[in-house]
Amino acid sequence: MTEERLRASLSTAGRGVVVATLLVACGGDPAEPVAPVVQPPTVDSLPLRTLADRRGLRIGTAVDRGFRLPGTEGTRFMGVVSREFNVLTPENDMKHDRIHPARTTYRFVSADSLVAFAEANSMRVRGHTLAWHNQLASWLTSGTWTKDEATALLEDHIDNVVGHYRGRILEWDVVNEPFNENGTLRSGFWLDRVGREYIEIAFRKAAAADPIASLFLTDFNIEGINAKSDSAFVLVRDLRAKGVPIHGVGFQAHFQVGGVPSTLAANIARFAALGVKVHFVELDIRVPLPSTTAALQAQAQTYREVFDACLQSPACGLVTIWGFTDRDSWVPNTFAGWGDALPFDASYLPKPAYWAIYNRLK
C-alpha cells in the first residue's frame, strides 16, 4: 500500500477551507499551497470515529504542535485528526501558564483555534486542565499569597476559563494528578496554599461556570487497584456524598507494552458503582526503542485490551489517545529508551496498533 494511495481530499469539501484558514490564523504561510489531507488507511475503510460512534463510544486525541506546522505537514496532521477522531483535547493550550500568563491577562487565541477547528469538524472538546501542580504561570508561583488570596485566584481562573468556553466543552479535567503513589495528596501550589479543600472548591466553581460540562478528576497509575486508586476512590465517594458536582474519573493510561493492570476491569466497575463515568483520557503505550515488529504487535494487543475494557463497561464512553503520531509523542523525552507509543508512525501511516483498534471497534 503506497503513501500516494493514502492521500486524497476529505469527503467533506469544506474541511480543507477550515484547515487552511486555521493555518493562517496560527501563523502559517497563506501563500503556501494547501495539500490534500490524508484519506482513510485503505480506500474502503471507515474512520475510527465512525466505527466508535456505532459502538456508542467517542474516540479522541490530544493536539498541540499540529496547528503550528507549516503548509503540507500541518494540513496532513490536521487531516488525520479531523478524519479519525471525534473528540479533541488541547495538549497544552488550556494549561495555566499558556492561557493565564499574567494575573489580569488571559490569552485564549491558541485554545480558541482548537475549539473552532473541533466545532467545524463535528468534534467535541475536552478541557485540560484547571487545577494542577504543574505548568503554572510564574506570576502565580513566585507570589506571596494568603490562603484567601490563593483561593480567590483559583476561583478567578476557573470562572474565567470555564466561563469563556461555557456550553462548548464536553468535559473538563478539573483536578489533575492530585495524588502521590502512596495515596497521599501531592504537594503543590494549590494544596500548599489553599489546603485539601481546593479540590472541592475547583469542582463547585467549574460547575457554576458551566453547568452543562461533565467534570473529571484525573490521574496516572490509578488504572488498577492499588493504594493510589484506593485514595482516588475514597475521595470521589466522599465528594459525591457531599453533593460536590464530580461526574467522572479519568485514567491517564500511560502504559508500557503489556502493562495493562489485571485489575483494570474491576477498578472501572468500582468507580462506576459510585455513579461516575470512567474514561481513558491520555492513553499511549510505549515500547522499547528501537521498536521491533514483535514489539509493535504486542503493542497492538495492549491497545486492544484497553478498548476491550472500555467497551465492556457502560461507564466508559470515551478513549482519548495522547496524540496520534510518533512524530510528536512526549514519551521519548520522558521515558529514556522508550517510544513509538502511538497508533500512527512518524510519517502519519497506520501501525498495527491502529488496526487493532479498528478491528476491535468494527
Catalytic residue list: 177, 282
Amino acid at 214: S
CA 61 to chain centre: 6
What DSSP element (H or E) covers 361? helix 352-361
Measured from the Cβ of residue 311, the count of other Cβ atoms closer than 10 Å reads 16
DSSP β-ladder status, 338-339 and 277-288: antiparallel
Amino acid at 139: W
Q: Report the distance separating Cα 249 and Cα 245, nearest Å.
A: 12
Cell matching residue 101: 500568563
Q: Cβ contacts of residue 211 below 8 Å, gap of 6+?
A: none
What secondary structure does DSSP assign to 179-233, as a single string? B-TTSSBPPSHHHHHH-TTHHHHHHHHHHHH-SSSEEEEEESS-SSSSHHHHHHH
Burial class (CB in 10 A: 0-12, 13-18, 19+), 224: middle
Across 52-145, the runs of DSSP E, i.e. the strands, are 58-63, 87-90, 124-131
Nearest alpha-carbon partner for 137 in 175, 105, 161: 105
The DSSP secondary-structure symbol of 48 reads H
Integer CA distances (angstroms), 150 to 102, 192, 201, 288, in order: 15, 10, 12, 43
DSSP lists the bridge partners of residue 173 as 128, 216
Q: Report the distance separating Cα 330 and Cα 309, nearest Å.
A: 25
